[in-house]
């Protein structure tokens, strides 16, 4: 039996990999380098330059507003420290801390027995002085004075009757003379030499003479009646005349007594403490039975020192009231900004704690002295809020935007279009494709716009500083230089009135 031949395995082929290990890393780095060189060549040697575009804006009409801003706090419009002006034992306190009070409301009282006795004594002295003055002013009895006054009245009535009688006689005489004149005109107009004409002329002369005599007599009667009035009046004055010195002394006594009554009444009123303004009680120093009074009250609107939180003592006044019906805003401004502020300038307030709330107001006052902190000079400015809001609280942060200058319906351009060189203010006007430097006169400079008073017309196109860009292939990427905002070439910039 024949043995099968033994098969030998074929020899394995030996694989050789030359891109292994370090060689593979080197090859990869080489490919990356070639790719980078190609990209750089494309963006530099073979790139087409992009020309810088011209940015423009159109001069239009609108409002240019210059605003100064600051941040501060809300304070009550008035804080008052009120006290009794008359010392005494405190008998009642009618309010407590936290109560809302109104103007004139009774707050507290001290014992008033001494003041009431002083008022009664002063009133008695006044009554005595007035009686003495009455005696000095009227030396005659009331009946005698009435009789003298009756004579004056009779004389006045006689004068009135005489004037009426004389006027009636004069009117009758004037009518008669007028009739006579008419008859003369008629009769003598027909035949001046006739008997009727002669009789008419004679009658006219007689009546004119009577008219003249009646006028003289009537005036004499009137003068006599007038003299009677004067005589009766003089008699009344003489009979009722008093000595000047006695009268002056009596009048002085009455005036002194009246002053004493007024002073006593004021002292009595001062034993009752009333609210000088509406507000909230934030401090009370004293309880019934203690001695109170003798202090002074600050005037409404003044900002008193913050009261102590203790019950009695710790405050110079008996009670402190905050007027929360309105608020003022107080905040510091840098010296350059404060120099632009003035009383009654309009302001818009916003509040960190109350979003979407804006309240108008005006500048109340600017502190004449500076506050220096870390070499920074500030001036504190007070503002008045034109209205209040129930959500407002003392101490809230308030932001103010003060309008320090405003030009309405003004020709304006963006601030970027204006430049100043060597003291000359210029803009560049784009006209028929040419850029023409043009001198202008500016007015109000706002945050975004500048008012042009002269040198530029509405509708003129001005050139803005260029924004240079380089654009490569692939992804669109703009590299902006010389400005911000990403505005394209040839765009027209418009916006608000700032």
| Cα 471 → chain centroid | 58
494 domain-assigned: no
Where b means 16+ CB within 10 Å and e means fewer, 96-105 reads: eeeeebeeee
What pLDDT is recorded for position 143? 82
Q: Domain residues for 204?
A: 140-241
> What are the CA-CA distances from residue 92 to residues 269, 280, 338, 364 (Å)?
15, 19, 49, 39
Specify the pLDDT at position 34.
72
Q: Is the same domain home to 144 and 104?
A: no
Q: Is 252 inside any structural domain?
A: no
Q: What are the pLDDT tens digits along the chain (498 aa)?
A: 444 444 344 444 444 444 556 666 666 777 777 777 766 656 555 544 444 578 999 999 999 999 999 999 998 888 888 899 888 899 999 999 989 898 899 999 999 999 999 999 999 999 999 888 887 777 677 787 888 889 999 999 999 999 999 999 999 999 999 998 998 898 898 888 888 898 989 998 998 999 999 999 999 999 999 999 998 888 877 777 766 777 888 889 999 999 999 999 999 998 999 998 888 898 999 899 888 876 544 434 334 333 333 333 334 689 999 887 788 999 999 999 999 999 999 999 999 999 999 999 999 999 999 999 999 999 999 999 999 898 998 889 999 999 999 999 999 999 999 999 888 999 999 998 899 999 999 999 988 999 999 999 999 999 998 875 555 444 443 333 333 333 333 333 333 455
**CATH number for position 316:** 2.40.50.100
Instruction: Compute the distance between CA of residue 362 and CA of residue 477 in angstroms, rounded to an integer.
Output: 49
pLDDT of residue 277: 82
State the pLDDT at residue 126: 93
Q: Decide if 367 is inside a domain.
A: no
Burial class (CB in 10 A: 0-12, 13-18, 19+), 89: middle
Select from 194, 220, 241 the last residue of a domain.
241
Sign of the Cα torsion 141, 142, 147, 151 reads: positive
In a 3-state reduction of DSSP, which class is residue 315?
coil
The number of domains in the chain is 2
- CA pair distance 60, 438, nearest whole angstrom: 17
Q: Do 169 and 237 lie in a common domain?
A: yes
CA distances from 229 to 190, 218, 237, 488 (A): 54, 17, 12, 105
Integer Cα distance of 38 and 187 in angstroms: 145
Residue 40's pLDDT is 67
- The reply to whether 163 falls in a domain is yes
Q: 73 lies in a domain?
A: no
107 and 199 fall within a common domain: no
At 279 the pLDDT is 86
Last residue of a domain, one of 219, 241, 263: 241
Report DSSP letters for 336-365, one per residue: HHHTT--TT-EEEEEETTEEEEEEEEEEEE
CB 455 within 8 A of CB 417: no
Give the distance, in angstroms, between the CA of residue 479 and the centroid of all CA atoms in the same chain. 53
**Which pLDDT does position 297 carry in this prediction?**
45
Sign of the dihedral through C-alpha 243, 247, 250, 252: negative
For residues 237 and 145, membership in a common domain is answered with: yes
Q: List, as one string, the DSSP characters of 98-156.
A: T-EE-TT-EEEEE--HHHHHHHHHHHHHHHHHHHHHHHHH--S-HHHHHHHHHHHHHHH
Tally of CB atoms within 10 A around 143: 8
In a domain, 389, yes or no: no
pLDDT of amino acid 245: 78
Domain contains 190:
yes
219 and 151, same structural domain?
yes
**203 and 281 assigned to the same domain:** no
Distance (Å, rounded) from C-alpha 254 to C-alpha 246? 13
Q: Give the domain-ending residue among 323, 350, 365.
A: 323
Both 150 and 235 in one domain: the answer is yes
pLDDT at 447: 86
Establish if 455 belongs to a structural domain: no
pLDDT of residue 248: 85
Quick one: 180 and 234 in the same domain? yes
Alpha-carbon separation of residue 15 from 9, 12, 20, 23, 159 (angstroms): 18, 9, 12, 17, 162
Across the chain, mean pLDDT equals 81
Cα–Cα dist 400/397, whole Å: 10
Q: Are 145 and 236 within one domain?
A: yes
């Amino acid at each position: 039996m024949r043995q099968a031949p033994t098969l030998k395995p074929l020899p394995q082929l030996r694989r050789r990999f030359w891109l292994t290990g370090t060689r593979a890393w080197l090859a990869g780095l080489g490919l990356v380098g070639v790719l980078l060189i190609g990209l750089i060549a494309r963006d530099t040697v073979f790139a087409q330059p992009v020309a810088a575009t011209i940015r423009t804006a159109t001069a239009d009409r609108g409002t240019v507003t210059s605003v100064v801003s600051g941040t501060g706090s809300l304070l009550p419009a008035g804080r008052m420290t009120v006290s009794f002006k008359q010392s005494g034992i405190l008998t009642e306190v009618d309010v407590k801390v936290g109560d809302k009070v109104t103007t004139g409301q009774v707050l507290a009282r001290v014992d008033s027995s001494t003041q009431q006795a002083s008022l009664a004594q002063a009133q008695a002295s006044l009554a005595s002085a007035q009686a003495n003055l009455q005696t000095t002013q009227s030396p005659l009895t009331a009946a005698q004075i009435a009789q003298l006054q009756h004579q004056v009245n009779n004389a006045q009535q006689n004068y009135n009757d005489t004037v009426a009688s004389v006027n009636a006689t004069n009117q009758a005489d004037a009518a008669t003379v007028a009739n006579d004149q008419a008859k003369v005109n008629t009769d003598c107009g027909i035949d001046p030499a006739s008997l009727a004409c002669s009789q008419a002329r004679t009658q006219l002369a007689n009546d004119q003479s009577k008219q003249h005599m009646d006028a003289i007599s009537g005036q004499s009667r009137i003068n006599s009646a007038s003299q009677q009035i004067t005589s009766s009046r003089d008699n009344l004055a003489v009979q009722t005349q008093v000595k000047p010195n006695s009268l002056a002394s009596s009048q002085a006594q009455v005036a002194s007594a009246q002053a004493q009554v007024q002073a006593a009444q004021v002292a009595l009123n001062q034993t009752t403490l009333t609210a000088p303004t509406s507000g909230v009680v934030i401090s009370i120093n004293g309880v019934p039975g203690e001695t109170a009074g003798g202090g002074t009250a600050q005037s409404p609107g003044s900002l008193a020192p913050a009261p102590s939180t203790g019950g009695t003592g710790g405050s110079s006044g008996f009670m402190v009231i905050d007027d929360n019906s309105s608020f003022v805003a107080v905040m510091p401004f840098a010296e350059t900004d404060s120099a632009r502020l003035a009383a009654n300038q309009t302001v818009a307030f916003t509040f960190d704690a109350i979003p979407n709330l804006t309240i108008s107001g005006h500048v109340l006052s600017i502190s004449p002295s500076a506050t220096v902190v870390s070499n920074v000079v500030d001036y504190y400015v007070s503002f008045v809020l034109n209205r209040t809001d129930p959500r407002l609280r003392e101490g809230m942060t308030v932001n103010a935007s003060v309008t320090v200058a405003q030009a309405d319906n003004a020709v304006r351009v963006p601030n970027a279009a204006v430049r100043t060189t060597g003291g000359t203010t210029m803009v560049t006007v784009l006209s028929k494709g040419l850029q023409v430097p043009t001198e202008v006169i500016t007015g109000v400079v706002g945050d975004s716009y500048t008012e042009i008073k002269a040198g530029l017309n509405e509708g003129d196109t001005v050139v803005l500083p260029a924004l240079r860009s380089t654009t490569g292939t692939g992804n669109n990427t703009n590299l902006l230089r010389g400005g911000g905002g990403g505005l394209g070439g040839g765009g027209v910039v418009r916006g608000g009135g700032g």
